[in-house]
Chains A and B, each alone.
Chain A
Amino acid sequence: MKKEITISDISRKCDQLTEIDKEVLIPLPYPYEHTNIELPIKRLSEEEKTRYEASLDGISAIGILKPKSKREEDELVGKFLSGLQKLFSEENNWTFLQPLMLSLEYCGKCLTCSGACPIYIASGKQEIYRPTYRSELLRRIKEKYLDKTGKITAWFKGSNIELNWLTIARLGELAYRCTLCRRCAQVCSRGIDNGLITREIRKLFSQELGIAPKELHEKGTIQQLKIGSTTGMNPAAFKDNIEFIEEEIHEKTGKKIRIPIDKKGADILLIHNAGEYLSWPENPEAFFIIFETAGLDWTLSSELVGYDAVNFGVWYDDIQLSRIALRHAKIAKDLNVKRIVIGECGHAHKAFITVADRILTGDLNIPRESCFTLLDDILQNGKLKLNPKKNVFPVTLHDPCNIVRSMGVVMPQRRILKKVCSQFREMDPHGVGNYCCGGGSGFTLLSSRNFPQWRSAISGRIKLKQILETFHDVITPEIKKYVCAPCSSCKGQIRALFNDYKVWDKCSIFYGGIVELIANAMADIKEPFINWECR
């Protein structure tokens, strides 16, 4: 019989704590139910195994380097403990102390949350992916090593856990097996938030140990602050891109649009996830067409950071979160705009509109709103001439967690879709009860070693299943279908899923944003705006 993993196993020396068994993953529906074409999760090479700590599940998301000596091991443990102390002090962690304490101190260990976790369910209920597993680890470490009577009461409270470098490294990796989607928190009657605890673990690693995935930190927030964008696009390249987009809009639609950049005193500063300009330029193009046609007074910014709405800090680091949010606000203040509108990017919505809200004080506190309410307002007020019969194909909506569950923006995007699409259908569940795309909390960006395969095989599995089930009656490749995923990160994840599972070839399911559907339905644009070409 297979040995079950316990909490204290996390400290146990072994080659690999859990082996991911593809036989136990939840099955996918037609046309994937019999083929058993499970994605092989690449095993790390011997060199990678020697270099990186991956003994949790054979996956390496962060790339924690193995210590070379006992001194390095002790140093890691020491730094972790010092970070742990800071995590529970008002001075160092005022930003999340109260939510963290409430979530750590009052869990009843009923495990009700497990059933809400898409990763735990999709993985065939692997114990280490249970939402409470990593929370319980932190709780027990804190109780034993930080509480005054911790070592005396360790046995009684069940917090008898050994803290060694392996425990720490595995905990760090484990913090990147949760997309922070917070479905688990939603079902907890005590208000315990395992997603928050996961983020706090990430924060401890980043802010004290200096350990974070390079895609989020070095090539993420740091690159954004230094070069201007996490994509590596500097202000000059951004301006080039805008010129290119102006030309492309003209070619596609015949409309000659002069995109306003750095216009002082405009009503709206529009900020996109800069990834859109490079991966899906049709998305900002559609925005620009809509804004111009609706006659809005708006501008883009070409300032460093000002043209990239992303804020990866919201996933792992309060300092980086604050730096970027403050920078965005300062740019808006200098432009003297009246409000900031965030494009189709879920985490940028949450980071700038809610999470960073209380860091923005005085004249940096400029109103920020979602593009969905603005677009809904434009459509409801009849500022665009629309013909929904131009979108005559089945459309479903993927709800980005950050926009629904973390912000409560649920209906505007539905009103828009009902107005511009003639065959809109909901997923089940949807709205605030939706499933994460599997790329949340930065997962879409983590491209090192074998993590992308884990992401497609496990964290995105339920979303893929849900999409296939939503279109089950029209799944044949002869009928084109559209998943509206109004978030760059979700789109990136869906793109990876669709490529890995060859969804376009087998089912003709396409993905894209919401504004593309609006532009495609605009009566005065003769040629189809949507180009059914999977990228």
Chain B
Amino acid sequence: MGIILTTLTYAAYVFIIVMYVRKAVRYARMPPHLRWDLYPVMHESRSEYGGSYYEDPEWWTKPQRKKIIKSILFIIKDNFYLGEYFHLNRGYWIFLLPWHFGFILIITLHILCFWGALAMVMGLSVSYESANFIGKAFYYSILLTGVGSFVAGSLGSIGMVIKRLSDRSLRAYASPMHYFNYFFLLAVFLSGLYVWYFTDPTFSEYREFWKGLITFNPKNVAPAAAIHIALFALLLLYLPFTRSMHYIIRFFAFLRVRWDDEPNLRGSRIEKRVQKWLNQPLDWSAPHIPTGKKWTDLTSDLTFSGQIKDR
């Protein structure tokens, strides 16, 4: 049993990391696009009212001061707060927030378990009796994040199902996949809750399992814990096929599209990147498209601009 769980957990982590990195790289390597800014742009000094550097006379002669960190902090903060939902869709937010927190905390739990196990391997005692502060800190943080995740996640999953089913419009836009996701996550959270409440109230078994993982020394666990571990591993294998990556993708959507206000100044990095794509031949089929010609040819090309016809 221990070997199966260990192998499954390893496979799940490798798989999700590979898939997420692949997706992120795919987005990062996409061609430069035309600008499609949407204000307020958070890194602008005038973001409070949505202003941009275009408000400056002869803006191209003024230095550009971007506060990228402000944008990044905004996105991170919003991952925990979900501000737009809070302000505009409170009935949804009230269920979405605990669901999100359940997810965030279960990931945090596993990160803590990894580092806690590493500390244990190095000889540190991770328990409430530990003489070392770090040992105690690991013990309590694992306990709190675990319980917090299972409780918030269970409530959130149930709440999301109720919300989706009870709201006619939300129901119309939901697919079987939505409900499958809610129930899958509910199973993960509830199994964790069961383990904590009935079989492993201090997560000592779980920490031992993790110690076994990082020392390549598989540990057997009680059936309830085994079910939870297997479900979580299966969740990791399934997540890349869902929209779960939006936590990360948001950075692309905001930093690379919505707030991408980098002007194309002469000799700039963006000008160099775009050049390759401007030499791309056109391959659309409508009558006004000069198929085969390049974007750069469009400066002079009017011969293919189509006929004026009355419809």
Contacts and interface: CB of A to CB of B under 8 A. Distances in A.
Contact of B246 (A99, A190, A193, A357): A190
A355 B302 contact: no
B295 interface: yes
Given A218-B308, A432-B40, A4 B253 contact: no
B82 interface: yes
Nearest to A322: B298
B54 A373 contact: yes
B62 to A, nearest CB: 11
Contact of A209 (B46, B50, B250, B286): B286
A99 B301 CA distance: 28
A386 interface: no
Interface string A1-17: 00010110000000000
Contact of A6 (B56, B172, B278): B172
Given A189-B85, A208-B286, A412-B55, A218 B34 contact: no
A182 interface: yes
Contact of B50 (A318, A353, A357, A408): A408
A360 B49 contact: no
A358 B35 contact: yes
Nearest to B175: A158
A221 B175 CA distance: 41
A24 to B, nearest CB: 16
A408 B41 contact: yes
B58 A339 contact: yes
Contact of B270 (A79, A111, A358, A374): A358
Contacts of B301: 323
Nearest to B31: A94
B55 A373 contact: yes
Contact of A96 (B36, B38, B84, B263): B36
B219 interface: no
Given A186-B38, A404-B50, A410 B288 contact: no
Interface stretch (A256-264, A362-370, A481-489): A362-370
A319 B38 contact: no
Interface in B249-291: 249-250, 252-254, 256-258, 261, 263-266, 270-271, 274-275, 277-278, 280, 282-289
Contacts of A279: none
Given A319-B298, A365-B271, A92 B311 contact: no
A155 B176 contact: yes
Most chain A CB neighbours (cut-off 10 Å) among B89, B173, B176, B302: B173
A50 interface: no
A208 B287 CA distance: 9
Nearest to A365: B266
Most chain A CB neighbours (cut-off 10 Å) among B34, B89, B249, B270: B34
Contact of A191 (B254, B266, B283): B254
Contacts of A116: 88
B25 interface: no
A54 interface: no
Contact of B38 (A97, A193, A222): A193
A99 B49 CA distance: 24
A219 interface: yes
B14 interface: no
Interface in A1-56: 4, 6-7
B176 A156 contact: yes
B258 A110 contact: no
Given A102-B253, A210-B287, A369-B57, A360 B82 contact: no
B286 A99 contact: no
A109 interface: yes
A431 interface: yes
Contact of A376 (B36, B57, B177, B282): B57
B169 interface: yes
A449 to B, nearest CB: 11
A405 B289 CA distance: 31
A136 B286 CA distance: 25
Nearest to B57: A377
Nearest to A415: B55
A83 B285 CA distance: 8
A208 B285 contact: yes
Interface in A97-115: 97-99, 101-103, 105-112, 114-115
A192 interface: yes
B291 to A, nearest CB: 10
Contacts of A320: 288
Contacts of A112: 84-85, 88-89, 92
B308 A219 contact: yes
B92 A110 contact: yes
Given A365-B271, A369-B59, A157 B39 contact: no
Interface of A: 4, 6-7, 63, 65, 79, 82-83, 86, 90-92, 94-99, 101-103, 105-112, 114-116, 127, 130, 132, 136, 155-159, 182, 185-193, 196, 206-210, 214, 217-219, 221-223, 225-226, 318-320, 322-323, 326-327, 330, 339, 353-362, 364-365, 367, 369-370, 373-374, 376-377, 404-412, 431-433
11 contacts: A98-B252, A130-B169, A156-B180, A189-B250, A190-B250, A206-B286, A207-B285, A207-B286, A323-B298, A358-B270, A408-B51
Given A127-B172, A431-B49, A432-B40, 12 more contacts: A94-B32, A99-B257, A102-B27, A109-B178, A110-B92, A112-B85, A157-B175, A185-B38, A190-B250, A319-B288, A357-B34, A432-B50
